[in-house]
Chain A
């Protein structure tokens, strides 16, 4: 069943938290909602879960309206699972009892609890432990297993990995994605981590200031962000002033480059956005840039490059692997080539 949000708005007192958000999550797919703190992403999740009511707009799951102008289905009748940021395990109950919490009395049995623990890759010996005796990653997996007891059609994950340290984080994330894949459940993840958002599933949605500014397949959104802020949010980038030479080419510090996407809306002054991954460097006496500084980062080195000459020099930082760093001493001229064209945005000034 498709989860469908139409024109959702929500304000707390005088503050607008969500503004006219519409979103569709097809059955069995995963979407990550990404945004900085205060963007309204958690509120959106709580609206879907039924902990809050939207001021306007409707939320529907298939043909069933969950929240709308006329009616609201309370949280416990929605059949929507929810995993909170800290897992929200009940501190007074063991792992097994936590998992069994939502099961109907008759259906509570060891086998079912074990199945779910297996699904969450949790060792059976943990069943008798209390939540405070678990690691953060284990807690999150218990929380997920618990949420799956309801066989929910949709599961909501509110920054479930943010409290974990980086190693554990990617590992837990992978385990969770696998688990969701196995159970075939529709999932909505909220996060402020762009890598997490881009690698989570079929769609990524970017929220800024209470608006869903862009949603779509991760590759597509990363490739063609609607504006500079989204571009910046989803990855490192360089923005250089550019001059349109024809409909599909610009002149900029890197030389003449093809336009991959034009998001400038026909503005008179435009900037070109380039991802560092597009750059290729080679030492060249007549290169278009000069290395003005080097800082080691251990695994590589950050080169500070200056493009252009005299009047309007542009600087950019580019990371090169350790084994190539020695080829770019300070003061050396390099030729910087850009693969794959640029995305154009209107210039601010």
Chain B
């Protein structure tokens, strides 16, 4: 639907006006910025993510247990909060390099977690046989470990790229213009104007190019079996003289990604006047209700999608899935504008209700639910349902009693991801929420964008606290550890 909205709006412009809007120096500048961001940001995130995962999982890095958690922690800090932390600590930080610094340190865990899960799922026997064939540790890492991480890294890299394309808040703080920030500016100037549509069209093409590139790079390979554990713990590589270097690197990463944003938030918190706790509490409640509703609905919508793609993998299901990915990689503002137009045209009673907000969250965050559900579903063999049916249980009851309970971990992981996204969502919430709704993120944003840092600080803290359970769940899912 958002895709249709962009296309319809772009075609309504007519070619002449569209080309006038597309082929102008400003768009070239935005394109250069956005492409540079992706081209530098994705490999950098991949490098940090894979390197971090390898350090904590396969080397004798001192303090690796702490680092293992610390590398995942930035996920609990929304990128725009990290950006606020950086911008208020070092006001001169801005532009491409500032944007990269903040975005990469905020997003590298999106590669780190899948890479960690993949490394844990690797059979150490493979690395051992490579060593017995006379390969050194580096050669083993590059020729044996890395190729097996390819899928995890590609998947994580794609997610990072999509985030980079769609992020607004973080870059707005740093005066770095991408397509998404320009679309939001165009929206502020003209609501659903022609400029927003033209920029949206280019962004849509960029996303499509990314998706195609990823699927080409993935080739016909299937996602590796994750988890299952290894029969014996792998030998850890001693870093020797490189140990201090590795420790310093890891510490720098943690400082840049977590400590700087957090300390500056805490610093502002102490300078905050007495915060209206009532406002904070009501914003927190509204955020929680919306986020949980979004999680439940996204899971409910994702289930049939996942079902189709696992049990009946054909062209149609792949098309549906691709469309879901594409729609969710568009900036939230476009999704929101599409929902405004649709609800006004077809269901005015739903306009500016919680329903449309949740619907937007579902569209934006569907893949977050889809990916773990699909993985979970593909690990529930159909033979279990058949066994249940042969025991005289109806197909529906079989699904309910066998498949659904086995999907619980995947449902939790997917739901947590969606709730996390929804709690941190900004632009669609502002546009679609019922008048008077204030979430933690929108309250934070309205204070932070008028540079009222002390007022914003408590909201930032709540955002981080709200994110923690979801991140813990994701970490547990990636490492195969049970939370109990």
Contact = CB atoms under 8 A, between A and B. Distances in A.
Q: For the side of the interface on B, what is the size category?
A: 10 to 19
Given A90-B402, A91-B406, A92-B405, A149 B391 contact: yes
Q: For the side of the interface on A, what is the size category?
A: 20 to 34
- The dominant DSSP class at the A interface is loop
B388 A49 contact: no
A86 B406 contact: no
Interface string B394-409: 1100100110011000
Contacts of A80: 390
B20 to A, nearest CB: 52
A147 B383 contact: no
A150 B388 CA distance: 11
Contacts of A92: 405-406
B395 A82 contact: no
Contacts of B402: 90
B386 A84 contact: yes
Contacts of A88: 381, 383-384, 386-387
B388 A101 contact: yes
B389 interface: yes
A76 B387 contact: no
Interface in A168-217: none
Contact of A76 (B381, B384, B394, B401): B394
Interface string A81-116: 110111010111000000001100000000000000
A79 interface: yes
A61 to B, nearest CB: 14
A79 B392 contact: yes
A235 interface: no
A332 B389 CA distance: 64
B384 A101 contact: no
Contact of A49 (B390, B394, B395, B406): B390
A321 interface: no
A226 B386 CA distance: 35
Contacts of A323: none
Given A74-B395, A76-B394, A101 B389 contact: no
B386 A76 contact: no
A41 interface: no
B391 A146 contact: yes
A146 B391 CA distance: 8
Given A76-B391, A82-B386, 11 more contacts: A75-B386, A80-B390, A82-B387, A84-B387, A90-B387, A90-B402, A92-B405, A101-B391, A146-B387, A146-B391, A147-B391
Interface of A: 46, 49-51, 74-82, 84-86, 88, 90-92, 101-102, 143, 146-147, 149-150, 156
Q: Which 6 A-B pairs have the closest CB atoms?
A: A102-B391, A82-B390, A88-B387, A75-B389, A88-B383, A76-B389
